[in-house]
């Protein structure tokens, strides 16, 4: 089967695109036009009732949740993470789930504070201040892990965890557009910076750049997306 990736530029779907490209899997992409709120359309909600991006259509049906799709692709095809019988599997999984369950939700709250505390600017600023600390601490933990040079994070051959973290780092450098930017500095995380630079040398990232207009250094020094189709918001 040719997989179908429902995506929007510079959304979490970019992480799944990296995995598909790294594994050389056949797929076609279908734009979810966020400018027209297509993620809330009846057709899309039939694939993901939560109305979030991405969705990957597979022979077993549609999959959603970034971490779940990554784990399924890795277990189905191998090559982007330790296999179930690998002694490193437990360590890999705990940090993959940490990224999916702790880091990624914190980013969503940072980018869409109105969904969590309403439209009061003071409440939004207070939430963001706390989230800056939470997110920075999470990245510092991941940088420490990467600095120990495990085979499943920051190695020459990337894993799904590399893809996931790189996407999160990219978004922190760019979003939200309003508000202070000085709370985040990738240079403070040298192991994760090296991971990003390695990813940028790989064909999977070149394919992502072409498909979504992410610029020459989409992870180590990102610029706002200029996609050939759709928009990032």
Q: Which of 133, 127, 104 lies closest to 114 in space, CA to CA?
A: 127
Burial class (CB in 10 A: 0-12, 13-18, 19+), 34: middle
What confidence tens digit (pLDDT) does each residue in 62-101 have? 999 999 999 999 999 999 999 999 999 999 999 999 999 9
Quote the pTM value: 0.97
Question: Is-contact 208 22, C-beta < 8 A?
Answer: no
Domains and CATH numbers, the chain: 89-202 (1.20.1050.10)
**Residues facing 64 on adjacent strands:** 55
What confidence tens digit (pLDDT) does each residue in 186-227 have? 999 999 999 999 999 999 999 999 999 999 999 999 999 999
């Amino acid at each position: 089967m040719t997989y179908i990736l429902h995506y929007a530029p510079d959304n979490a779907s970019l992480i799944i695109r990296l995995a598909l490209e790294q594994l050389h899997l056949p797929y076609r992409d279908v734009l979810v036009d966020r400018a027209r709120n297509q993620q809330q359309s009846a057709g899309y909600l039939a694939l993901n009732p939560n109305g979030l991006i991405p969705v990957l259509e597979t022979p077993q049906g549609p999959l959603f949740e970034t971490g779940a799709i990554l784990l399924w692709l890795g277990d189905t095809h191998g090559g982007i993470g330790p296999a179930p019988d690998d002694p490193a599997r437990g360590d890999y999984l705990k940090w993959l789930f940490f990224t999916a369950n702790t880091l990624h939700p914190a980013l969503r709250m940072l980018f869409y504070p109105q969904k969590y505390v309403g439209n009061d600017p003071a409440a939004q600023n207070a939430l963001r201040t706390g989230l800056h600390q939470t997110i920075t601490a999470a990245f510092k933990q991941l940088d420490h892990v990467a600095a120990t040079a495990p085979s499943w994070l920051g190695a020459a051959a990337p894993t799904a965890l590399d893809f996931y973290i790189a996407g999160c780092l990219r978004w922190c450098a760019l979003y939200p557009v309003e508000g202070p930017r000085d709370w985040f500095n990738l240079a403070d995380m040298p192991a994760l910076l090296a991971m990003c630079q390695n990813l940028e040398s790989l064909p999977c990232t070149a394919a992502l750049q072409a498909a979504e207009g992410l610029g020459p250094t989409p992870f180590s020094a990102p610029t706002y997306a200029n996609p050939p189709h759709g928009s990032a918001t």
